[in-house]
Structure 1
Amino acid sequence: MKILRFASIIALIASFTFALFAQQPAAVKAPVEIKIASATFDPYVGQYEDAVNLGGTILSIFREGDKFYLQGTNQDKIEIFPSAENKFFLKAFPADAEFVRDASGRVTGMIWRQNGSAFQTKKIADQPAKDSRVAFKRTEAMIPMRDGVKLFTVILTPENQTEDLPFYMERTPYGVAAWNGSRLNGAKPELVKDGYIFVFQDIRGREDSEGVFEMLRPPRDKRDPKSIDESTDTYDTIEYLLKNVAKNNGRVGICGVSYPGWLAAVALLDPHPALKASSPQAPVTDLWMGDDFSHHGALRQTYAHQWAVPLESAKKGGVFNWYLKANMPELAADLATKSHSWKAFLEHPSYDSYWQAKATNLYLKDTSVPTLIVGGWWDQEDMYGPLALYKSLEKTDKDNQVNLVMGPWNHGGWGGRGRKLQNVDFGSDTGRYFRSEILAPFFAYHLKSKGTLKLPEASIFRSGANKWMAYDSWNPKGNFEQRGIYLHASGKLSFEKPVEKPEAFDSYVSDPANPVPYRKRPILPTYGPGSTWYTWLVDDQSFVSDRKDVLSWKSDPLGEDVTISGDIIADLYASTSGTDSDWIVKLIDLYPSDDATLPNYELMVADEIFRGRYLKSFEKAEPLTPNAVNKFAIDMRGNDHTFKKGHRIMVEVQSTWFPLYNRNPQKFVPNILKATEKDYQSATQKIFRSAKYPSHISVNIAR
C-alpha cells in the first residue's frame, strides 16, 4: 500500500526505481575536494544510463565554466566535486561517481555509488540531454469541505499556459508538501508534456490537512446530510478548483497508486459532474481478503506492523527471529492501543461486517466515469485489488467505460522503465510503454478531447513470451480451454488426471517453531535499508528446496511453449493431524539448467495462502476435523504467462510463510492473535493425489 518517495538522488533527480533502497553503508571518511583542469573533465561530458537500476533515467554530465554538474532527466542540476581525476562526489548527500575508460582511453561509463550499492551506467551520448522542463507556478490552498474541515492542497499551474487546461488530481495520505515543478517534471514527464493543471492533496487527518484520519473510510450514510467520506471530499475539492483556479476547462481526472489508487476508485461513488476520468492503480480493495493486511484470513503481520502502525500512530512520519520470539498476544494488545487497524485485527479476526464495509468491490458496483484500472502481476502489496475492482465494475459496464491493464510490475513499478524485476528480463520498457501509449492517451482523450482512444477491454502483458496482449474480456475467451495441472507420485506433474487409489498422498510435518521463510534470510525490515521486499515475488524459490516441509512436483521438460491466461485456482485435497492449518500453493516456472541467464531459476508465476479455519465460511472460523480430507479451493488470482519450451512447470505446497504471515498454531483457537506458546504444535500434513482426490491447479491454456 505504501509508495515510497525515495531519498537523496530520487528526490533530487528522478524516481529511479526501488533498487536505490540498498543497505546504508558504514560511516566513512568524507572525500576531499581537489582541483582539476576543465579539459580533464570534458571527456566525461555526455549522457549515461543504467537501464536496470535507475529505471531508465538519463544522467547528464556537463560543466559550466569551471564547475561540474550532474542532472537527471528534466530535473535540477546538482554540482559534483572532484576527489580524484576520475572520481567525483556530491556535497548535497552521500553519493559519488567514478568514470570508466576502455583500453583505448575512451570514457565508456560511470559507476554510481549510493547507500552502499554501486550501479554501472553506460555512456550513450557525448552531449548532455536537452532540458525540456516546463516551468510551473506553485500555489498552496486550504480547501474547505462541507463539514468545515480544510484540506491542504498544492496546485501546480504551467507558467506559460495559453489555453484552458483540465485538472489532473492525486489525493494521498503520504504528504504533498514536497510537490513542485522540478519533481513533477521528473515524475510525470508524459503528462507534463500534454499540459495539465496538477493538483495534489493531503486527505483529511493526514500531514498538513485538518480532520481525523480513518483507514479506508467506508461510504457515508447518505441519510445523514452532514456525513462525509472520501468521495464527498473529492467532490468538494473539485467544486472549489472549478471556481477558484483560473483558466481551467471544467474537466478533472483523478489518479493514484496504492492507497491513492483506492482514493481514485472511491471518487467514483458519487462523482462530481466534472470528473471525466479516473485511473485507480494498485488500488487497495479488500484488506482482509487479499490486499495489504491479510490474504484469506492469514494476517500479514510484518507488513501490517511496519506500515500501519506508523501511519496511524503519528500524523507524520533481521526480523525473522524477532517475530519468532515475540509474545504476539502482548504485542497485538499493545499495537491495538496505537493503531486502529491492529485494534481491528484483534477484535475482528474473521471477515465480518467491519471488513466487508471497507471492501470497495462490495460497495462500488458501477460507474459512469471512464475508468482505467492498473495492476502488476508481481505486486507485493496490492495485486488482489485491481482484479477485484475490475470484476466488480465490469459486471455493469455496458459501454466499455472500464478498462484493465496488468503488466510485469511490482507495486507501482509502471512508474519506472519496467524492463526488469531483479534478473527477470521482460524484454522491453513496459512502464514507458504503458505511460506513453495507454495512460497519457487515456487522460488526453477524456480531459482534452485529443486524439482517438481505442483501448481494448484488457491490455495484458504476457511474461515468458514478453509481449502485450489485447483481450475483449478478462478472463480471455476464445482460443483457450480450461485444463488441470495434476499432482502425481514421485514428484511428477502433468495434465493427465491421476489414477492412484484414494489413499495416495505425499506428506510433511509442519512445525510452527521452524517455519518456512518467505524470502531468503536475513529478512530485513520491510522498508528498512537493504530490504528486498519490493521484488521478493520474483525471488528464486530454490532457496527452500532442501526443506522437508516444502513439497514439490515438476513436469517433464516442455516439448513446446505452454501459455496460461486468466484466473488460476488451486484445488487442494489435503488433511492435517491438527485442527487448523495454513496451505500455501506456488505455481512456478522452472528454468532449464542450460538457460543463458537464469539457470535452474524457480520463478513464481502465481502464489497464495489459505487459512484452513475458513474452509466453510470466511465469516466464521471453525476447527478442522483431524485427518479428514478436505478440498481447499484457493484463488491464486491469475497471470498471463508462457512456460517456454524446455522449461518445467512446478508446484510447491507448504504450511508456513514466515514472518510475512503470522503462524497458524495448527491447533484451533478462536483468535490466533491471542494464541499462547503452548497452543503452537507440529502437525502432519497430507496432500492427496488420487483419482478420488485429484489435487490440481486449474488454468486456461491457449490452444
Structure 2
Amino acid sequence: MQLVGKQRFITRRWFVPAIGLLLMVASGSWGFANEFVVQKDVMVPMRDGVRLATDIYRPATDGKALEQPLPVILSRLPYNKDGQASAAKYYATHGYVFVAQDTRGRYKSEGTWHMLSDDGPDGVDCAAWIGKQSWSDGKIGMIGTSYYGGTQHAMALAGAPELATVIPVDAMANMGRQSLRNGGAFELRFWNWIFLNAGRGSRAAKDAGTAETLKVMADQRLAYLEQLPTRRGMTPLRLSPEYEDWLVSAMEHGANDSFWSDVNIVDAPQEYKDIPVYLVSGWYDSWGGNTTANFMALQRAIKGPVYMIMGPWIHAQQTASSHGQVSFGKEAAIANQWAWRKEWYDHWLKGADNSVGKADPFQTPVRIFVMGTGDGSKDEKGRLQHGGYWRNENEWPLARTQYTDFYLQAGGVLAQEAPPAKESITQFQFDPADPVPTIGGNISSGDDILVQGGWNQKGGPHIWNFLKPIPISARKDVLVFQSAPLEHDLEVTGEIEVELFASSSAVDTDFTAKLVDVYPPSADWPGGFDLNIGDGIVRGRFRESLQEEVLMTPGETYEFTIKLYPTSNVFKKGHRIRVDISSSNFPRFDVNPNTGEPLNRQRMSKVADQTICHDSTRPSRIVLPVIPGT
C-alpha cells in the first residue's frame, strides 16, 4: 500500500479491470462509505450517436461499489473531466455518485465543439442515461463554475426530467446582454478564451504539429491583440475551424437576438425547469450582472426556491478573501467549497432537515457581502484593507433602496444638486489607436492580457499597455467627475446605471463609465487610493436597443444608458464618489474604430470628438441605489 495522506486519503490501490477501464479505490475519513471507486472514460452515446467521455465515481466499501441507488452530482465541462477528481472524491465519500463528463468535442469526447449550443440536448441525454443506471436513484444535482455553470443553466432550460437542483457559480448566461456582448461591445476575454482553448483539448490539438502551432499563436496573444480585428483564414486559428468560426461570428454579431439564444434566461425565464436554484457570484466577477439578472427573472418565473449569494470575489475565487490590490478580511471567503454545497444537495436530493432555510448561508433568499467597512490601512502583503461584512436580505434589489441621482457637472463636479440651466459641456478626443487601458474590474479568462478585481487606478508593470506608474485620471481622454468628501458613510447596494447625454463627430462610437471609491491620502497611502467598484460600456449604434443597430448623426445629442455591474459598497466618510467617463476600456472591450463599418470588419479608424452634456435640459448622471440607515 502507498501512503498518500494522513487525513483524506490513507491508501490507494490501482488495477485495470477486464473491461479495460481504470478502477481506483481510495480510503478516507469522511463517513458513509470511506472509499470510492471510479470508472474512467465510459463513452455515453448522445441522440445523434456522438459519444461523450464520462467518469463515474461511486461510494465503496472494501474496494467494492455500493449497490443501492444514490443521488448523482453531475459536472459537464470543457476543461478536462480529470480536473474534477477533488470534488468527485469528496462527494463519493459523502453518499453521492459523482459523474464528470467532457462536453462535446472537448478532450476525450467525440463530436465538434460549439459554444454551449449542444449542452441542452446533450445534458438531457446524459441525464436520461444516468437515470437508467442501477447506481442512480433518478435524482441529479449539478455542480460547476463559469462555462460549466452555463451547462447547468442549459440543462435546466432544456427541462431534463432527472434534474432536481443546480448550483451555478459565476455561470455563463444571457450572452448578448452583459457578458460576451456588453452594451453592444465585445468582451475580449472571450477572444482570449478562444485563442487559448483552440489548441487545448480541441479536435485540432490531437495533431501534435497543429497543437504546437496553436500554442505559438496563443503565446503571442498580445501581438495579435494589436492587429485586431481577427479575420477568417488570416491567422493560425484557421487550423481549429470551429473555434475560429465561433469567434469571428461572435465578434461580427452585435445584436442581442437569436444568435445569442443559448442559455438566455432573462428573456425566457419561464423555460427554466422549476427546481431549487442557488446562484453564486461576486461583485468583481464577469458574470455578476447576469447572476443578479437571473435571480430577478427566475424569482418571478419559478417557485424554486431561488437563492443567491454575492461576495466580494473575482471569478471562481469564492474561497479567497482578497484579489488585485485589495483585501476584504478573512470572513469574506467560503472556507470549504464542497461542504456548503453538500448541505444544499442533502436537503434537496436526500430530504435532509438541515440548515437550508434556517441558517447561513441559506437563512434568507439573498446573502450579500457589503464591502468597504475596513480601516483602509495596508495589510501584511501591502493590500488595501477595504473590508466588509456579510448580511442577509429577502430580495434583490433591496426593497428599501433609495435611487439617488448624482449629476455630472462643469469642472469635474459630481453632486446631488441639479445642474444649472445654462448650457454646459465637456469635450475630449477619442483616438482608437490609443485606447484607455483596463485596470482591473469584472473579468474572467483574463490570462496574461487582463488583471482581475480591485486595483488602484494607476499604471505600472502589471498593466502591459500602461506601464508607467501614473494615474489613469491623468489621461486627457478620461473625464473625472467626483463628489466633495462625504460627510457620512453612504452605502450603495444594487443595480447601477449612468444616464449620459452626449454627442460625437462619429457615426458610431463608444462611451464608457466607471464608478470609483476615492480614498483620501493617509500614512499607508500618501497618494490616496482610487478603487474601481464597477464599470460599463455602450456602443453608439446600440443606444436605442440591444436588438437593432442604428448609426448616429454626427453632432446630434443622444441619451445613452450605460449599465454598470451591480455592487454593494460603503463609501466611507471622507471618501469621494467618482465617475470616470471615456470611450474605451481596452482590452476589456474591443475598441470602436469610430467609422460605422460592419462590426469586426473595419479597415479604417478615425479620431472622434466627444461631447458630454451636463446642464438642466441634458442632465447626465449616475443613479446610485442608496441604502438608508446603515
Residue 296 of structure 2: SS of its match in structure 1?
A: helix
Question: What corresponds to 2:389 in structure 1?
Answer: 467
Question: What corresponds to 2:385 in structure 1?
Answer: none
Question: What corresponds to 1:213 in structure 2?
Answer: 113
For 2:104, the aligned partner's letter is R
CA distance in structure 2 between the partners assigned to 1:605 and 1:373 by the alignment: 21
- More displaced 10-residue stretch of structure 1: 388-397 or 359-368: 359-368
CA distance in structure 1 between the partners assigned to 2:263 and 2:87 by the alignment: 32
Q: 1:537 aligns with which of 425, 428, 453?
A: 453
CA distance in structure 2 between the partners assigned to 1:595 and 1:395 by the alignment: 49
Q: Is the 8 A contact 2:190 2:445 kept in 1?
A: no
Q: Is the 8 A contact 1:441 1:451 kept in 2?
A: no
Q: 1:476 aligns with which of 398, 403, 419?
A: 398
Shift of residue 458, structure 1, vs aligned partner? 1.4
Is 1:297 matched up with 2:205? no
For 2:370, the aligned partner's letter is R
Shift of residue 329, structure 1, vs aligned partner? 6.3
For 1:457, the aligned partner's letter is P
Unmatched tracts of structure 2, length 5 or more? 12-27, 206-210, 212-218, 374-387, 459-470
For 1:368, the aligned partner's letter is D
Is 1:267 matched up with 2:155? yes
CA distance in structure 2 between the partners assigned to 1:176 and 1:700 by the alignment: 42
CA distance in structure 1 between the partners assigned to 2:252 and 2:412 by the alignment: 42
Question: What corresponds to 1:368 in structure 2?
Answer: 274
Q: Is the 8 A contact 2:192 2:221 kept in 1?
A: no
After superposition, the C-alpha distances for 1:593-613 in whole angstroms (9 at most, x for unaligned) are 116479621111110111111
CA distance in structure 2 between the partners assigned to 1:232 and 1:384 by the alignment: 26
Q: Is the 8 A contact 1:324 1:513 kept in 2?
A: no
Q: 1:594 aligns with which of 485, 509, 522?
A: 522
Within-5 A mapping of 1:111-260: 132=29, 135-140=35-40, 141-160=42-61, 165-180=70-85, 183-184=86-87, 191=91, 194-217=94-117, 229-246=118-135, 248-260=136-148
Is 1:395 matched up with 2:300? yes
Q: 1:659 aligns with which of 563, 566, 587?
A: 587
After superposition, the C-alpha distances for 1:8-35 in whole angstroms (9 at most, x for unaligned) are xxxxxxxxxxxxxxxxxxxxxxxxxxxx
TM-score by length of 2: 0.79
Is 1:625 matched up with 2:564? no
Shift of residue 631, structure 1, vs aligned partner? 0.9
CA distance in structure 2 between the partners assigned to 1:386 and 1:164 by the alignment: 34
Question: What corresponds to 1:673 in structure 2?
Answer: 600
TM-score by length of 1: 0.72
Is 1:419 matched up with 2:419? no
Shift of residue 197, structure 1, vs aligned partner? 1.7
- Residues 573 and 207 of structure 1: is their aligned pair in 2 closer, same or farther, counting only changes over 3 Å? same
Question: What corresponds to 1:286 in structure 2?
Answer: 174
For 2:122, the aligned partner's letter is D
Q: Is the 8 A contact 1:332 1:346 kept in 2?
A: no
CA distance in structure 2 between the partners assigned to 1:363 and 1:212 by the alignment: 27
Within-5 A mapping of 1:442-521: 442-452=344-354, 453-454=356-357, 455=362, 456-465=364-373, 466-478=388-400, 480-501=401-422, 503-519=423-439
CA distance in structure 2 between the partners assigned to 1:506 and 1:72 by the alignment: 66
After superposition, the C-alpha distances for 1:655-695 in whole angstroms (9 at most, x for unaligned) are 122233222112222x131211xx31112212111111111
Give the percent of matched residue pairs that are identical in Structure 1 and Structure 2: 27
Is 1:558 matched up with 2:486? yes
Q: Is the 8 A contact 2:308 2:366 kept in 1?
A: yes
Residue 362 of structure 1: SS of its match in structure 2?
A: coil
CA distance in structure 2 between the partners assigned to 1:691 and 1:462 by the alignment: 34
CA distance in structure 1 between the partners assigned to 2:473 and 2:262 by the alignment: 41
Question: What corresponds to 1:348 in structure 2?
Answer: 253
After superposition, the C-alpha distances for 1:451-502 in whole angstroms (9 at most, x for unaligned) are 3311322111111131222222111103x2110121122222122221241x
Q: Is the 8 A contact 2:479 2:582 kept in 1?
A: yes
CA distance in structure 1 between the partners assigned to 2:221 and 2:96 by the alignment: 47
Q: How many residue pairs are counted as aligned between the two chains?
A: 549
Q: Is the 8 A contact 2:36 2:92 kept in 1?
A: no
After superposition, the C-alpha distances for 1:562-613 in whole angstroms (9 at most, x for unaligned) are 0011110110111112221111100111112116479621111110111111
CA distance in structure 2 between the partners assigned to 1:650 and 1:559 by the alignment: 15
Q: Is the 8 A contact 1:586 1:652 kept in 2?
A: yes
- Residues 151 and 476 of structure 1: is their aligned pair in 2 closer, same or farther, counting only changes over 3 Å? same
After superposition, the C-alpha distances for 1:493-518 in whole angstroms (9 at most, x for unaligned) are 122221241x2122211111221111
Q: Is the 8 A contact 2:146 2:169 kept in 1?
A: yes
Q: 2:541 aligns with which of 604, 613, 634?
A: 613
Q: Is the 8 A contact 1:665 1:672 kept in 2?
A: no
CA distance in structure 1 between the partners assigned to 2:254 and 2:10 by the alignment: 49
CA distance in structure 1 between the partners assigned to 2:6 and 2:254 by the alignment: 47
- More displaced 10-residue stretch of structure 1: 438-447 or 159-168: 159-168
For 1:375, the aligned partner's letter is S
After superposition, the C-alpha distances for 1:13-71 in whole angstroms (9 at most, x for unaligned) are xxxxxxxxxxxxxxxxxxxxxxxxxxxxxxxxxxxxxxxxxxxxxxxxxxxxxxxx997
Residue 215 of structure 1: SS of its match in structure 2?
A: coil
- Residues 598 and 458 of structure 1: is their aligned pair in 2 closer, same or farther, counting only changes over 3 Å? farther
Within-5 A mapping of 1:313-328: 314-315=202-203, 316=205, 322=223, 325-326=226-227, 328=229
Question: What corresponds to 1:83 in structure 2?
Answer: none
- More displaced 10-residue stretch of structure 1: 145-154 or 235-244: 235-244
Residue 231 of structure 1: SS of its match in structure 2?
A: helix
After superposition, the C-alpha distances for 1:379-437 in whole angstroms (9 at most, x for unaligned) are 1x33333223223322223x3511112111111111x2x21113312123433258478
Shift of residue 171, structure 1, vs aligned partner? 0.4
CA distance in structure 1 between the partners assigned to 2:397 and 2:284 by the alignment: 18
Unmatched tracts of structure 1, length 5 or more? 1-68, 78-130, 218-228
Question: What corresponds to 2:314 in structure 1?
Answer: 410
- More displaced 10-residue stretch of structure 1: 161-170 or 257-266: 161-170
CA distance in structure 2 between the partners assigned to 1:406 and 1:177 by the alignment: 29
CA distance in structure 1 between the partners assigned to 2:614 and 2:296 by the alignment: 32
CA distance in structure 1 between the partners assigned to 2:564 and 2:53 by the alignment: 40
Question: What corresponds to 1:692 in structure 2?
Answer: 617
Shift of residue 148, structure 1, vs aligned partner? 2.6
CA distance in structure 2 between the partners assigned to 1:184 and 1:255 by the alignment: 9
- More displaced 10-residue stretch of structure 1: 460-469 or 342-351: 342-351
Residue 308 of structure 2: SS of its match in structure 1?
A: strand
CA distance in structure 2 between the partners assigned to 1:647 and 1:193 by the alignment: 50
Taking only aligned residues, the RMSD between alpha carbons, in angstroms, comes to 3.2
Question: What corresponds to 2:380 in structure 1?
Answer: none
After superposition, the C-alpha distances for 1:97-150 in whole angstroms (9 at most, x for unaligned) are xxxxxxxxxxxxxxxxxxxxxxxxxxxxxxxxxx85754211122222233322
CA distance in structure 2 between the partners assigned to 1:390 and 1:600 by the alignment: 36
